[in-house]
Structure 1
Amino acid sequence: MSLVEQQETFELGLLDGGSVVQAVSSLTTPGHTGTAARQIAGSGSSQPSNGIRIFQISDGIGRGSQRGRQFSRGDWAGQDGQIASYADRAWAFYPPVLEMIAYVADEGTLAVYTGVGWKDYDTLLSEVATVSRTASGAESRIGTVEEELTGLSGASVDTSIVIPNQVIVFGVSTRTTTTITGACSYDCGISGETSKFGGSLGVAEGSNNAGLIGSQAFYSDTAVRLTTNGGSFTGGAVKMVLHYFLSVVPAE
């Protein structure tokens, strides 16, 4: 790396028959992890495994001299599912580790090794996810649970989903997904605190509110309530999302 450069930046190309079939730019290290399935998708046929090229990128002059190597698909024979690392003019292969994470730079996403293959990180997300766990089974979980209330009718409407017992709530966010009729605005809250998560919210489609509160513990299952201002609901729909923290006690 030149001393005049602010950071290392690289451009990597995967070659097939001398042609670049997949390019990854703006790498900040001279290495890249990619799955075979994505390489095949990028080339349109077989895995492009007969060459690589790499450039260091200068802020001042652009691409530097090309470096790379041609190799045969036989170099990877019998290594399905392994992590391939090229250094010192030779390939080394390593088994992926359970929950290993790879950053897919050209897609701006993460892939996770699950034991049965690589999966996109976003497909593994759930509404209530464990973010940490102790050896005794204690857990910290984050909940992001949603429901859409449609065909709104009457002076107020309660959700069927509830804020669970013994959670800390950060907020309840809302989005008006179908323009509300019969009311000039509405409040989002709970019984006895009808505007706890937002007051005088917009009835037009697309209106939204983060619904943040100072974090508060709830000690019983609690429905969220929409209450009209200036009339009664005669139509419309609102998507509501609960945002909360849940602690799980040790199992032993």
Structure 2
Amino acid sequence: MATSRLGLPFVAEGQAQPHVTHNEAMDMLDAAFPQIASSATETAAPVNPAEGAAYILPPGAWGFGAVEPGQIALRHGGIWHAITPVPGWRWFVLDEGAARVFDGTAWRPGDVVGAQGGRLGLGAFDAVVDLSGASVSVADLLPARAIILGVSSWVVEAVTGAASYSVGMAGDLSKFGGSLGLAAGSSNVGVVGPFATYSPDAVVVTASGGAFSGGRLGLSVAAIVPGVPV
């Protein structure tokens, strides 16, 4: 016997070594409770999955034992366990930087899902770029059909060659920040008046006072992402 949602094993009356069953249930609960999935789009199981790793299985997924598409595959004790979702469950998906919600039929991108499947989500779309030359463009980092709240930046490795840098987009190269610091650990939260995108767009990092000769920069787009159920 097991619980109906997470499949946690019950301790049977009078069973030997009840601590084994109890500990197994605690391990599975510990892995499932954070509600964090590595991916919702990977179709092939990882070769060396980490203990406690979880995946929301898309159509066509294979290699996850008896876990079926739509279920959550949870790695525990060296095997895959199936968790069957119920409507309203919300899991954060690491490789998307955003949440998905189960609406009873499918896992929809978003933080909330309406009764008819409309959805609304928050997203953080990240990149780390190596700097060289006069500017570096990160294609399609601004998602389509979204409300952009800002683009934050942080220096991963000290920037060299330039006197400062700016972060923006075509037509406004300092939209998300200008005259920014070069030292490792320097950062800027580039909030702006929210604006809509209708197609993917690039974030541009531009050198000031000389060309980039080195350095690495982290970028994160903060966005509200609406959607429809199809």
Q: Same fold (TM over 0.5)?
A: yes
Tell me the equivalent position of 1:18.
none
CA contact (8 A) 2:166 2:179 kept: yes
Residue 217 of structure 1 aligns to a residue in which SS?
A: strand
The yes-or-no answer on 1:145 pairing with 2:145 is no
Change in Cα spacing, 1:222 to 1:123, as seen in structure 2 (3 Å) is closer
Tell me the equivalent position of 2:170.
191
Question: 1:168: how far off?
Answer: 0.3
Query: Alignment partner for residue 201 of structure 1, among 180, 203, 206?
Result: 180
CA contact (8 A) 2:140 2:200 kept: no
Question: 1:196: how far off?
Answer: 0.7
CA contact (8 A) 2:162 2:210 kept: yes
Question: 1:124: how far off?
Answer: 4.7
1:151-166 map, 5 Å: 152-166=131-145
Q: How many residues align?
A: 161
The yes-or-no answer on 1:128 pairing with 2:128 is no
CA RMSD of aligned residues (A): 3.9
CA contact (8 A) 1:181 1:234 kept: yes
Question: 1:161: how far off?
Answer: 3.8
CA-to-aligned-CA distance 1:25-56 (integer Å, 9 cap, x gap): xxxxxxxxxxx9xxxxxxxxxxxx9xxxxxxx
Question: 1:222: how far off?
Answer: 1.1
Tell me the equivalent position of 1:241.
220
Identity of aligned residues (%): 32
Query: Alignment partner for residue 195 of structure 2, among 216, 219, 232?
Result: 216
- List alignment gaps of at least 5 residues for structure 1: 1-35, 37-48, 50-71, 85-101
Distance in 1 between residues matched to 2:34 and 2:123, nearest whole Å: 22
Question: 1:82: how far off?
Answer: 9.9
CA-to-aligned-CA distance 1:40-85 (integer Å, 9 cap, x gap): xxxxxxxxx9xxxxxxxxxxxxxxxxxxxxxx9759589769989x
CA contact (8 A) 1:144 1:241 kept: yes
Query: Alignment partner for residue 34 of structure 2, among 96, 103, 111?
Result: 111
Distance in 1 between residues matched to 2:91 and 2:165, nearest whole Å: 33
Question: 1:156: how far off?
Answer: 1.2
Higher strand share: 1
Residue 187 of structure 1 aligns to a residue in which SS?
A: strand
The yes-or-no answer on 1:172 pairing with 2:151 is yes
CA contact (8 A) 1:147 1:161 kept: no
Give the ranges of 4+ consecutive aligned residues of structure 1 lying more than 3 Å apart after TM superposition: 72-84, 109-115, 121-126
CA-to-aligned-CA distance 1:84-116 (integer Å, 9 cap, x gap): 9xxxxxxxxxxxxxxxxx7x7xxxx95349583
Q: TM-score normalised to the size of structure 2?
A: 0.57
Distance in 2 between residues matched to 1:178 and 1:77, nearest whole Å: 49
Change in Cα spacing, 1:230 to 1:169, as seen in structure 2 (3 Å) is same
Q: TM-score normalised to the size of structure 1?
A: 0.53
> Larger radius of gyration, structure 1 or 2?
1
Distance in 2 between residues matched to 1:197 and 1:226, nearest whole Å: 10
